[in-house]
C-alpha cells in the first residue's frame, strides 16, 4: 500500500521504516527541516538499534523516502498515519494542537479519500474530535475521510523488534473497510512466516503469531493509556517496597524475585530504582489522571504512583548525603544519561533531574553515557563530559549509576576503584552485585538493600548510625 507518515520522531520513523520493510511504499514527513535533511543525507536524528540498516536498505530499494513537504506525503498515501507529538500541558492534559494541525493539513492537501490512523498516544474520544475536524476543514472537498486508531506499543531500545514481532496489534475502527485495510497493512507481520528477518538471525525473537485485537476507536485509545499507567503503578509499587526494605532490613531483590514468580504478577517492571522516565509513562499517567478527573472517577491510585516516582531523586540524594555528609564541592560521577539503555532519549530522564539537583548543591558533576551525551550537552553545557566511564571515575568521591547500560556492568571495576578518590558507588538501578563490590573494596549502596549487607566492616557509616558506633569509626 501507499502510506504517509506525519511526524518523524521515535514512533513515526520506526513505524515508517518497518512498514517499508514489510513491502509498503512509505513517505515520511516532518515540519522539522533539519531532521529531514539529516534523514535524506543518510543520518538518523535518534539512536535505535537496527533502525539505521532498515532505513538504509529501504531507501535504496525505493520503498522509503523523506520530505519536509507534508502535503506531498499526504497526497502519496492512501493511508495516513498521524505520529505527531502530544506533549503534556501544565495541567497534565495532552496538547493536541499537532493533531488538529494534522487534520487541517490532510483535509486541505488530500486529492483523494483517505484512511487517517491515529498512531500518536491520545486521550479517549480524540478520534471523534479528529473526525469532526476533518469534516470541518474538508467541507469544500469531495474527498471522504475515515478515522481509525492504531496505538503503538514500541519500547525505546527494542522498537524495531517490537514493531516487527509484536505481542499484539490493536486496531480501533468504526467500519469494515477500515478494518480490512489495516489487516492488509499488517498481514506480513500477522503471518510471521511471510516476514523477512531484517536483522541477524540470532537477534530475531521467536514469537507466536501476534494477536490482532479489533476494538472501537474509544477502546483502542484507552488501551495505550491503561497499559502505560499500569506499568507506572507497578514500578512505583516496587519502589515503595524498596523503601520499606531499606528501613526494615529486608532485601528488595529477594522480595521482587519471589513476587515475580507468581503468575498473576510476573517479574516485568518489578525493578526498583530511580523511577520511570522517558516521554511515554510520565506523560501518559498525567493525561490518564486528567481523563479520570474529567470523568468524575477517583484517580488517587494513579496520583500516588506519580508522587512516588517524583520522590525517587529526593530519596537517592538523601542516601548520597548520608554517605558524603555534604554534596558541596564533591566531585561526583554520573554514569548514564538516557532514561533507559539502548536509546539516546533524555526526555523526562531521571538523570536530568539528578544533575540539576547536584548542580544546585554545588557539586562538581562529571558524566558519561554511550549515546545520550550530545543531547544532554544542550541542557548542561558547562559540566564535564567524559570520554568514557574511567575518565568520569578519576578523582571522584562518588560514582552514581543512573542508567543500566550493560557496558557499565562489564567495566573493569578494580581499575575504577584505583581511579576514584573515594570508592563509593551509589547504584540507582541495582545493576551491580553489592557483595561483590564490597569484596573489591568499594563502599556500595543499592536501592532497597539493607545497609548492613552492603557497607562492609570498614566502610563509613551513615549519619544516623548510633553515636558510639560513629565515634568508633
Cell of 407: 557496558
Give the C-alpha separation, 65 to 151, whole Å.
23
Find the Cα–Cα–Cα–Cα dihedral 441, 446, 451, 457, rounded to 10°.
Answer: 0
Known catalytic membership, residue 28: no
How many C-beta atoms surround the C-beta of residue 25 within 10 A? Answer: 18
Decide: 12 and 46 in contact? Cβ < 8 Å. Answer: no
Burial of 174 (0-12, 13-18, 19+ CB in 10 A): middle
Place of cell 569484596: 439
Give the C-alpha separation, 195 to 382, whole Å.
48
Give the C-alpha separation, 396 to 361, whole Å.
16
Q: Which residues fall within 8 angstroms of residue 404, CB to CB, at 6 or more apart?
A: 273, 336, 340, 341, 429, 431
Count how many residues are written for the chain.
Answer: 473
Catalytic residue among 8, 18, 245, 280: 280
Q: Which residues fall within 8 angstroms of residue 305, CB to CB, at 6 or more apart?
A: 229, 232, 233, 235, 236, 237, 285
Decide: 299 and 289 in contact? Cβ < 8 Å. Answer: yes
Give the C-alpha separation, 373 to 297, whole Å.
42
Give the C-alpha separation, 40 to 265, whole Å.
45
Burial of 187 (0-12, 13-18, 19+ CB in 10 A): middle
Give the residue numbers annotated as catalytic, written as ranges.
Answer: 280
Amino acid at each position: 500500500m501507499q502510506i504517509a507518515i506525519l511526524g518523524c520522531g521515535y514512533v513515526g520513523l520506526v513505524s515508517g521504516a518497518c512498514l517499508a520493510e514489510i513491502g509498503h511504499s512509505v513517505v515520511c514527513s516532518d515540519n522539522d527541516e533539519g531532521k529531514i535533511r539529516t534523514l535524506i543525507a543518510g543520518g538518523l536524528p535518534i539512536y535505535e538499534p537496527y533502525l539505521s540498516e532498515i532505513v538504509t536498505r529501504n531507501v535504496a530499494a525505493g520503498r522509503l523516502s523523506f520530505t519536509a513537504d507534508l502535503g506531498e506525503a499526504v497526497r502519496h498515501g492512501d493511508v495516513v498515519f498521524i505520529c505527531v507529538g502530544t506533549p503534556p500541558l501544565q495541567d497534565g492534559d495532552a496538547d493536541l494542537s499537532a493533531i488538529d494541525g494534522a487534520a487541517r493539513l490532510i483535509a486541505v492537501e488530500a486529492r483523494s479519500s483517505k484512511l487517517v490512523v491515529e498512531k500518536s498516544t491520545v486521550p479517549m474520544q480524540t478520534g471523534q474530535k479528529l473526525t469532526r475536524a476533518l469534516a470541518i476543514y474538508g467541507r469544500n472537498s469531495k474527498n471522504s475521510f475515515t478515522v481509525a486508531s492504531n496505538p503503538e506499543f514500541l519500547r525505546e531500545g527494542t522498537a524495531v523488534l517490537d514493531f516487527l514481532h509484536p505481542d499484539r496489534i490493536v486496531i480501533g475502527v468504526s467500519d469494515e473497510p477500515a478494518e480490512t485495510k489495516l489487516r492488509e497493512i499488517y498481514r506480513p507481520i500477522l503471518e510471521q512466516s511471510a516476514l523477512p528477518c531484517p536483522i541477524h538471525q540470532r537477534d530475531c525473537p521467536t514469537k507466536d503469531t501476534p494477536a490482532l485485537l479489533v476494538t472501537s476507536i474509544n477502546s483502542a485509545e484507552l488501551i495505550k493509556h491503561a497499559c502505560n499507567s499500569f506499568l507506572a503503578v507497578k514500578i512505583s509499587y516496587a519502589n515503595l517496597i524498596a523503601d520499606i526494605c531499606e528501613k526494615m532490613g529486608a532485601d528488595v531483590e529477594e522480595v521482587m524475585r519471589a513476587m515475580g514468580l507468581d503468575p498473576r504478577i510476573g517479574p516485568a517492571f518489578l525493578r526498583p530504582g530511580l523511577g520511570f522516565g522517558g516521554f511515554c509513562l510520565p506523560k501518559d499517567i498525567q493525561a490518564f489522571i486528567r481523563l479520570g478527573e474529567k470523568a468524575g472517577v477517583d484517580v488517587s491510585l494513579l496520583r500516588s504512583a506519580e508522587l512516588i516516582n517524583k520522590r525517587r531523586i529526593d530519596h537517592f540524594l538523601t542516601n548520597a548525603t548520608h554517605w558524603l555528609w555534604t554534596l558541596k564541592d564533591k566531585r561526583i560521577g554520573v554514569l548514564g544519561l538516557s532514561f533507559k539503555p539502548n536509546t539516546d532519549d533524555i526526555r523526562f530522564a531521571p538523570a536530568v533531574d539528578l544533575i540539576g539537583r547536584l548542580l544546585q548543591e554545588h557539586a562538581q558533576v562529571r558524566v558519561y553515557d554511550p549515546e545520550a551525551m550530545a543531547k544532554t550537552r544542550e541542557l548542561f553545557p558547562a559540566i564535564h563530559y567524559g570520554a568514557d566511564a574511567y575518565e568520569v571515575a578519576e578523582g571522584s568521591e562518588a560514582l552514581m549509576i543512573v542508567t543500566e547500560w550493560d557496558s557499565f556492568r562489564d567495566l573493569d571495576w578494580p581499575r575504577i576503584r584505583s581511579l576514584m578518590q573515594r570508592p563509593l558507588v551509589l547504584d540507582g538501578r541495582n545493576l551491580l552485585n553489592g557483595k561483590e563490590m564490597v569484596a573489591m573494596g568499594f563502599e556500595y549502596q543499592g536501592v532497597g538493600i539493607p545497609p548492613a549487607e552492603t557497607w562492609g566492616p570498614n566502610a563509613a557509616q551513615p549519619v544516623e548510625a548510633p553515636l558510639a558506633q560513629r565515634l568508633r569509626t
